[in-house]
A and B are shown apart, each in its own frame.
Chain A
């Protein structure tokens, strides 16, 4: 007796029909890298898996009206190898590159990473730093919301039952922007993130900070841009002193949002160093 069935959908409309058949607990299946682990713990996790990973329109990566749109079933490897993403979002390329190893990146998808919403999901800080939005289809129609609102807390999203995440998109950053992503894990490959940080920045013509975005991962219960740190940076000239101040402010935000935890002793100096380092990458210091 099989504990669940797997059906391959060939189009979005077929997937929606399969996902919404009354009386069955159905879940969308993309790269399977998270769901296989869930199924091992609970073979009766669902009655039906709807394989959406081969639906062509869910794998497209394209530019539309100043935004980059990434199909939810695009794999981490497809995202990091896309010239469009490489040109517009180095932070997302680096985040996808830091996931697992080749085997996982060939199967795991950006949409799956967002819907699974693990506390340590590598793509989330990068997507939120890029002000990315989700596009969701429900039986009642389409809707869109920022990734930072879609993911409410670890392993929880606002995906309605019977809904399907179609794509993620982000506005192309203003020209002259730089972005980066750093991950701290126990080793390079296959490591679950202990801490991640994503940043995006741009200087104005007189060398002062015109735009600053900073997001941490695995540090706070909900992932969002750290406005307090960003405000501290705006309008200032980049300097090591400024980066160190911002790094201390980032740690203060982590402690304010998460409280002091068993891991704080480790995370405080680590996050401080990572923040200062990533700010140095996105705001190049003027040659002395």
Chain B
């Protein structure tokens, strides 16, 4: 079938089978390999993307369900010049990126949280990333990075 979606703020059209997951459409037909395939059964969160602004596991969504809707992948999270945004910089600074496999999903989970709840508590941050497994960091650094980004965004807003 022919898919049309608003992908990372760009209208894209692609021909692909009608019975594949959104994850497969992104990685194998749109060649956006930033979204990772971990468990492929909705348990690990490595394939997290935003569908109409909501965090979802792209392995658990049929590509056909995303047709004509808005999808944001990790490739769509950056500053206008393409460099890492503040949350991504914080992940680097706090050592929240180790092997890096969970990072795209973690960043999207963090952005989804901050869009919804700009000043989360640490407990809320932990709950927001509860569907994203990380086998390297022990999570502490990831929670720190999201918390710091929330604080610095608040400060920036205050100055504006």
Contacts and interface: CB of A to CB of B under 8 A. Distances in A.
Contact of A6 (B43, B60, B62, B132): B62
B73 interface: no
A239 interface: no
Contact of B19 (A3, A53, A77, A106): A3
Interface residues of B, number: 29
B92 interface: no
B12 interface: no
A32 B131 contact: no
B49 to A, nearest CB: 9
Interface in A50-108: 51, 53, 77, 100-104, 106-107
Interface string B111-131: 010000000000000011011
A47 to B, nearest CB: 11
Contacts of A49: 62, 64
A208 interface: no
Contacts, number: 84
B122 to A, nearest CB: 15
Interface stretch (B28-36, B51-59, B152-160): B51-59
B76 interface: no
Nearest to A6: B64
A270 to B, nearest CB: 22
A101 B56 contact: no
Given A36-B42, A104-B42, A51 B65 contact: yes
A2 B18 contact: yes
A107 B57 CA distance: 9
Contacts of B54: 77, 106
Given A36-B21, A190-B43, A104 B64 contact: no
B55 A106 contact: yes
A240 to B, nearest CB: 30
A6 B131 contact: no
Contacts of B5: none
B104 interface: no
A188 B139 CA distance: 15
A100 B131 contact: yes
Contact of B131 (A36, A43, A104): A104
A190 B61 contact: no
Given A2-B18, A40-B41, A102 B60 contact: no
A42 interface: no
B130 A190 contact: yes
Counting from the closest, the 6 A-B pairs by CB-CB distance are: A101-B131, A189-B130, A6-B64, A106-B54, A2-B19, A103-B57
Interface of B: 17-19, 21, 40-43, 45, 48, 51, 54-57, 59-62, 64-65, 67, 109, 112, 127-128, 130-132
